[in-house]
Amino acid sequence: MDQSPERFDALERAGFKLDRKGDIYDYLYRGFGRHYVDIGTSNRIARGQITMKNDSLVKEWTTEGLRFEDGSEIKADLIVLCTGFEHDFRGIAAAVVGQEAADAMDNTFGVDPEGELRGVYKLAGRQ
């Protein structure tokens, strides 16, 4: 980001939340991702061709878009809801294998005390 600060300044002005400092491996292993491969989307966001709203929660759908809890409304041809995903799968696994077995599982992602990824490419609990 230090090599092209104007690119990231433009994204921030458009409302895109970003972290200017960081290590890709830290994002992948400790932050559960928090990155995306830019195939032109960043430029379209910076130019205002793609807009975003991240300062209020969605209250309801309207016939032309969305209404937010702060009272604002936006018209939209396409709405993309970015909600992330559940990083700790043990709650979901409990419904399948039972709570006791799920409690014995290691968390997913993040780094364990040995510096290894938790629950990835190795057993995540008992067999």
- Residues 69, 54, 77, 86, Cα dihedral to 10°: -100
For the chain, give the number of residues: 127
How far is Cα of residue 69 from the mean position of the Cα atoms in its chain? 22
Return the amino acid letter for 104.
A
- Residue 34, token pair as written in the block: 């928090």
pLDDT averaged over the chain? Answer: 78
Collapsing DSSP states into helix, strand and coil, what is residue 97?
A: helix
Per-residue pLDDT at 43: 92
- Which pLDDT tens digit goes with each residue over 47-75? 999 888 888 888 888 999 999 999 999 99
Q: Domain coordinates of the chain in residue numbers? A: 1-51, 53-82, 85-127
The beta strand positions in 36-125, using DSSP E, are 58-61, 65-68, 73-75
Element (H, E) at 119: none
- Which pLDDT tens digit goes with each residue over 99-112? 998 888 777 666 77
- Which pLDDT tens digit goes with each residue over 13-44? 998 888 777 666 666 666 665 566 788 889 99
pTM of the entire structure? 0.54
